[in-house]
Amino acid sequence: MAFSRITKLDPPSRGIFRKAVVMLCSLLASFFLLHLLTESCTTTTGNSPPRGSSSRAAGLFEDLSSLRTKRLVYEWTGGSELNRYGTAARTSQVLADERATQDSELPEEALVLPPPDLVVSRRVSPRFAGKVSPLGEGSKKLPQALIIGVKKGGTRALLEFLRVHPDIRAVGAEPHFFDRNYHNGLEWYRELMPKTLEGQITMEKTPSYFVTREAPARISAMSRNTKLIVVVRDPVTRAISDYTQTLSKKPDIPSFESLTFKNRTTGLIDTSWSAIQIGIYAKHLDNWLQYFPMEQILFVSGERLISDPAGELGRVQDFLGLKRIITDKHFYFNQTKGFPCLKKAEGSSKPHCLGKTKGRTHPNIDPEVVQRLRDFYRPFNMKFYQMTGRFFGWDD
């Protein structure tokens, strides 16, 4: 019979069965991963906090972000070596563009900080405090380094120069936390800081800290390991510059000479005037040394910051434990303003000089008054040289 010739088919082998199971599992896993990525994108574009599923997919986004940031910093440095952590300072071009839009021509006093209630309302979830966020964009940390002084010494120039470094993130406005806003608390202060990646340094500058008696104890309470930077300048020139700034805002103030002396006839200097008091550096340093060792304080010469910016920036980078990336190639000297400018500012491809409020022309001061001030400051300067171990040459 014809049916008798039909042979019975062999059952499928175990190997084929295993392959089918593997293919089915792979297909299910692909659908699940696609679901996670879709949910993550939906979460990040909305207002709801990150979900657990998006956290599980964070590794993929971090890898993508890492590749992108490495490429950006490679282009920025012209192909030079990345920092020692193998990451770039900027996690995305968006962050760089946002910081590049800051109006550098605005006077510092126009940079207003947000009110505490607004800052606190935007507080990062405690889940991510001090950690890298799910999308690899970093987190807000308390500063590890502070530029604490001095007013009219060159602190704004130093901060703008340092912001070129890919391992430094800094606040543009002066927070004045340790002198005026301490009552707002550390969380308010933290929220003012920019986001940083692992290995980057958070900084801020408020020159009045150096002459604020409570500041050393308060900063030490935050962290005894905080590194402190002080830009100092010939105290006589600094006082005249301080007066010039005040004069530009209040044209009807008394003359520099009348404010300098308690009694012009006797030549007694009025040390209660802040323009004079700030320049007594040795007195203020005594207060800081009660809370911080000298090796945690770096003194930058305001004069050398103009004549040799790359040299002073090299000392600062060494002090912060960073690679010397900011060099002579980053600067050019602006003959009109009389001080160095950046060839390419942080987050921008254009040259950048400090605003119109910097480099004001000083009024003519009676030479006799200038000499009286030099005689007054000389003993304080000598003590300051001894304390810091550096001769600044203000009394030549």
Q: 73 and 49 in contact (C-beta within 8 Å)?
A: no
> Which entry of 140, 141, 151, 152 is annotated as an active-site residue?
152
- DSSP characters over 185-207: -HHHHHHHSPEE-TT-EEEEE-G
DSSP 201: E
Catalytic (active site) residue 152? yes
From the annotation, which residues make up the binding site for 3'-phosphoadenylyl sulfate?
Answer: 152-156, 233, 241, 358-362
Token pair for 107: 């006077």
Binding residues: 152-156, 233, 241, 358-362
The first and second tokens of residue 128, run together, are 């991510």
At residue 378's C-alpha, the angle toward residues 286 and 362, to 5°, is: 100
DSSP codes of every residue in 252-276: TSPPHHHHHEEETTTTEE-TTSHHH
**Residue 115: strand, helix, or coil:** coil
Give me the numbers of helices (H) and strands (E) for the chain, helices first please: 15, 11
Q: Using CB atoms within 10 A of its CB, is residue 345 exposed (0-12), middle (13-18) or buried (19+)? A: buried
Q: How many other CB atoms are found less than 10 A from the CB of residue 359? A: 16
Report the catalytic residues: 152
